[in-house]
Homo-oligomer: A and B are copies of this chain.
């Protein structure tokens, strides 16, 4: 009994994992439900028992990954509160955010979103509404507190957040070739440092 319930949950998780892996690897349309089932180690019909149809499976997989991405981005942003040298902190947070952006699952999330936004516009709500917007708001909050504390120039904090974000990620699609190339760690750090440098030039106190 407990075993069964466990088995059931395990299977569900295995399917979700397999689905995301296969969707990310082959794209939603090209991904076969047989392949997902095989990768999850279950029968094809079991996938349907759990998720009803392929579209629902996509959404479920999206939600799982989006939740994970949200948590990791939030954790990065929240470190902006602490004391210490502002440039150093910003560089660390920036680097962490870049790392989140360049995570394989994040690349896949954005690629799949771009691919399917036309067919499934509600995926945007999952990714943007539940993740990107919240992260951006949170970042703006922290920057606002820094401005209040006199450590940054006082401006529209949302704009500052957008610009920091743009400086950090603006070159990553090109550098990472849309997720098909792994950017070396030190290159990532250079990107973060340069972005923070420009950001502080523009938004630094005084």
Q: Interface size class for chain A?
A: 35 or more
Determine the distance from Cα of A203 to Cα of B104 in the docked complex, in whole angstroms.
33
Determine the distance from Cα of A26 to Cα of B124 in the docked complex, in whole angstroms.
16
Quick check: is A177 within 8 A (CB to CB) of the other chain? yes
Q: Given A124-B178, A159-B198, 12 other A-B contacts at CB below 8 A?
A: A24-B118, A26-B118, A29-B29, A110-B114, A111-B114, A115-B115, A124-B177, A132-B174, A133-B174, A159-B194, A162-B171, A166-B170
Q: Tell me if A's interface is mostly helix, strand, loop or mixed.
A: helix
Cβ–Cβ < 8 Å partners of A199 in chain B:
202
- Please give the distance in Å from A197's CB to the nearest CB on chain B: 8
Cβ–Cβ < 8 Å partners of A171 in chain B:
162, 165-166
- Return the CB mask of A143-166 against B: 1 if under 8 Å, else 0: 000000000000000010011011
- Please give the distance in Å from A170's CB to the nearest CB on chain B: 2
- Of the listed residues A30, A111, A114, A167, the one surrounded by the most CB atoms of chain B closer than 10 A to its CB is A114
Quick check: is A128 within 8 A (CB to CB) of the other chain? yes
Cβ–Cβ < 8 Å partners of A117 in chain B:
111, 177-180
